[in-house]
Structure 1
Amino acid sequence: MTDKTVLTERNGRIATLRLNRPAAMNALTADMLSLLGDELEAIAGDKGISVVVLTGEGRAFTAGVDLKALRDSGQDLTEGNVGDALNGAARWVQQLIERMPQCVIAKVNGFCFTGGVELMLACDIIIAAEEAKFGDTHAMIGLRPTWGMTQRLGRKVGMQRARELSFTARTITGVEAAAYGLAMEAVPLAQLDSRVDELAQAIAKNSPGSIAAYKDLYRKSENAGLDAGLAYEYETKYEIADVRERMAEILKRLGG
């Protein structure tokens, strides 16, 4: 049994990153987030990887910030802010997830609360177990979001639903998460691994350069108005090294 808090596994063109503090529900510390960032940064530069799957060991994706560690850190919480160490590491991880050329799939296997939801929202695609539990508990704890909850959640579920989830701090299931648009889909926990692997394999067989371009363009689309997004799509140049090879293969299949 390893005591490493983030485990990395490579299988062909797919890398799986597993948060590994199961006894603590994979609760997040600054050191753990920094290690996750290091692993993501290494993968971002690996041209042999096309898809990253982010998940958790045991019964949780992640329960969010480790409240015991936060309490013991001496951080002044009177403004509801978890502090620079956690904020800096978490925001770095989110930026890596959003800007790395690989598609990042969040495989939400269990409990996913607050900071865990914020990490998940940075991913490209979210697949949840039906049995998973989600919640934004900032208001329950007396904290305020600093990792982008108010900017990303409403884009997924709409502003009224985002407000309701944040104001009530209620827990929802994976089924509800999919119905609200928080997750792309929910499947029984017993089928989660196979469904995510199927999706990852389908993505990994396509052009890495195309996926990288799409990822950047979709990110721009989410963060810009329509006119600016259309101009960016038309004007931005990408290097897609395998286009001739792939086109020739398709034409051969078509008999051209």
Structure 2
Amino acid sequence: MVELVTRKNEGGCATLTLNRPERLNALNVALFLELESHIDAIAAVTDKVGLVILRGSGKCFSAGHDLNDIASGEKPPRPNYQAHVIEKLAMLPQPVIAAVHGHCYTGALELALAGDLIMCSENAKFADTHARWALVPVWGMSQRLPRRIGQSKAAEMMLTCRIYTGQQALAMGLVNTCVADAGFDAELAALASTILANSWHSHRANKALLADTDGLPLPAGLSHEIARSRGRGPDMAERIAAFQSKSAKIS
């Protein structure tokens, strides 16, 4: 049986790949069930997995919610199931990179927005087409999109249903980086390596701080940062000693 979401573990990075290339990785209930299983497993192994990459197989990241499923009356295991899985992805302890090439439309964009970072190739195409199909967001678009790109630009995307290129997405702040198609995999690997080389303890603590203080007034956020600090990581002394040793050799 073909896996709809595959997982590859390498060097502390878990890469989850949407695997319905014949359907442009359109998102159906069966795919979300597999995705949730992987997310739950990854959340339980923070000592072994320090970073998660979500990407698509074949020609694109994902063309979005499978319209055939919508038309036929899909049956998720519980109400708002897909939104729940996307929230689980967003709330993983580890940082998440959404790596987008080709299509990333509507439900796929809602999925990508769960990433802490979004990296795309120049051939990426982003759109929110809910209004084209007389649909209303229930997977987080109305909340995550304006938080990432601002209220007015989010309204533009939602009202026009226009397609935006990778470079346009970079200019509006939808993605963190946009790289040449030919160098996409190499740049993604370099970004992953950079993140993994830093403290996984700090990554988890920083991600939690950003999530827990989102929307708080500055004084409340500052108080939270102090009161809820997770403290120094277990590898702090080792990291400082390694830096001091390297500096001594250079001098």
Unaligned stretches of 5+ residues in structure 1? 76-82
Q: Is the 8 A contact 2:29 2:74 kept in 1?
A: no
**Where does 1:1-256 land on structure 2 (aligned, <5 Å)?**
3-46=2-45, 47-73=47-73, 85=78, 87-88=80-81, 90-238=82-230, 240-255=233-248
Q: Is the 8 A contact 1:14 1:53 kept in 2?
A: yes
Q: Is the 8 A contact 2:121 2:181 kept in 1?
A: yes
Quote the RMSD (CA, aligned, Å): 1.9
Q: Is the 8 A contact 2:13 2:53 kept in 1?
A: yes
Normalized against structure 2, the TM-score is what? Answer: 0.92
Question: How far apart, CA to CA, are the structure 1 residues paired with 2:40 and 2:115?
Answer: 15
Question: How far apart, CA to CA, are the structure 1 residues paired with 2:100 and 2:79?
Answer: 22
Question: How far apart, CA to CA, are the structure 1 residues paired with 2:69 and 2:146?
Answer: 29
Matched-pair identity in %: 37
Q: Is the 8 A contact 2:80 2:138 kept in 1?
A: yes
Runs of 4+ more than 6 Å apart: none
Segment drifting more, 201-210 vs 221-230: 221-230
Q: What's the offset of the Cα at 1:214?
A: 0.8
Question: How far apart, CA to CA, are the structure 2 residues paired with 1:10 and 1:105?
Answer: 15
Q: 1:84 to 1:223 in 2, by over 3 A?
A: farther
Normalized against structure 1, the TM-score is what? Answer: 0.91
Unaligned stretches of 5+ residues in structure 2? none
Question: How far apart, CA to CA, are the structure 2 residues paired with 1:197 and 1:73?
Answer: 39
Output the amino acid matched with 1:228.
A
